[in-house]
Amino acid sequence: MGSRYWTELWRCRELLVFLTWRDIVVRYKQTTFGLAWVWVRPLMTMLVFTVVFGNFAKMPSDGLPYSVFVLIAVLPWQFFSNSFSGVANSMNDNISIISKIYFPRLILPISVVIVCFVDTLIAAVILVVLMLWFGCSPNWHIVFTPLFLLLMFVFSLGSGLLLVNLSVRYHDVRYIIPFFLQFAMYISPVGFSISIVPANWRLLYDMNPLVGLIEGFRWALGGSAMSLDITAVAVTCVLSVVFIFLGIYSFRRTEATFVDLI
């Protein structure tokens, strides 16, 4: 049963491509600014954090221009936030299709994450522009970026999948997710550096898997001034693996009942 499912999933790869393409195309058709929205959101978030934390609160940015320092974190954060809620709601959002046609349902959450991934790659253009503008040059750590992208992908998909079953059963999960994400953003080092966290709290702080992800990107792209928080990255890696396995397991177990429950 297990292997048959994965062969079937592989056979449906074209459907995956089309669903991903649909989500991207539709968004750019529906909105006047289209593509520009992918840049506007991280730019605004970056501006607010830079002005409030960088200029007013004068927080440290470990030697980088504050805006670059923040933007490196905003991009993976927004990837996580969008794909987490997208994956969690992926069944409810596609009820018209899943109640009529069979295909491995796992295609839908994967498609959501790919769409977010494409968005992030497009949004990364502003990061490149900003880094060129400020003359920041990354060092050899940059070769680790794909690894952190993979980590980001796996972690977001896994954690989102854990929630699918709940969101299918309880429709108010949709409304709880934004609260949760807002909370998560404030406890994650998106707008500030982890160096402001007191040393005796540091270990506890590292337990937040988003710390390892964000710090990983800062280390890979931020140049030689950045040090790597090994504990945090290890926590993220372990949790990503746990989440993706648990997520797929819970998804597979309950997949067949989704149609009856929504």
Partner 1 sequence: MIIINTEAVGKCYSVPDSHREKHDTFLGAVAIGARHAWRQLFAKEPADQHDNFWALRDVSFSIKEGDRVGLIGRNGSGKSTLLKIISRVTEPTKGRITLRGRVRSLLEVGTGFHPELTGRENIYLNGAILGMSYSDVNRKFDEIVDFAEIGHFLDMPVKRYSSGMYVRLAFAVATQLESEILILDEVLAVGDVQFQKKCIRTIEKMAEQGRTILFVSHNMDAVQQLCHRILWLESGRLVADSEDTVEVSGRYLSSTENQENAAPGNDVNTEKFLSIRQVYVGNEVGLPYMGAIPMGTELYLYIDAYIYDQQSDLNVGYALRTADGLVLYLSCAKDRDQEDWPNIEAGKCVLRTQIPSHFLNEGLFHVEVMVGLQLEMHRYDHDNCPVATFTIQGGFGSSPYWTSRRDGVLAPVFPWKRVD
Question: What residues make contact with partner 1 under the rule CB under 8 A?
Answer: 14-15, 17-19, 22, 25-26, 29-30, 96-103, 166, 169-173, 176, 256-257, 259-260
Q: Is there a contact between 82 and 116 (Cβ–Cβ < 8 Å)?
A: yes
Instruction: Determine the Cα angle at 200 with ends 199 and 203, to 5°.
Output: 90
Which residues are CB-contacts of 257 (< 8 A; sequence separation ≥ 6)? none
- Least separation in angstroms between residue 120's CB and partner 1 is 23
How many other β-carbons are positioned within 10 Å of the β-carbon of residue 255? 19
Q: Would you say 101 or 128 has its CB closer to partner 1?
A: 101
Q: Would you say 99 or 137 has its CB closer to partner 1?
A: 99
Half-sphere exposure for 127 (CA within 13 Å, toward CB): 24
How many helices (H) and strands (E) in the chain? 13, 0
Q: Would you say 7 or 224 has its CB closer to partner 1?
A: 7
Which residues are CB-contacts of 215 (< 8 A; sequence separation ≥ 6)? 189, 194, 228, 229, 232, 233
- Least separation in angstroms between residue 250's CB and partner 1 is 16
Q: Would you say 27 or 202 has its CB closer to partner 1?
A: 27
- Least separation in angstroms between residue 207's CB and partner 1 is 25
Q: Would you say 98 or 210 has its CB closer to partner 1?
A: 98
- Least separation in angstroms between residue 18's CB and partner 1 is 4
- Least separation in angstroms between residue 31's CB and partner 1 is 10
Pairwise CA distance, residues 204 & 103, whole Å? 42
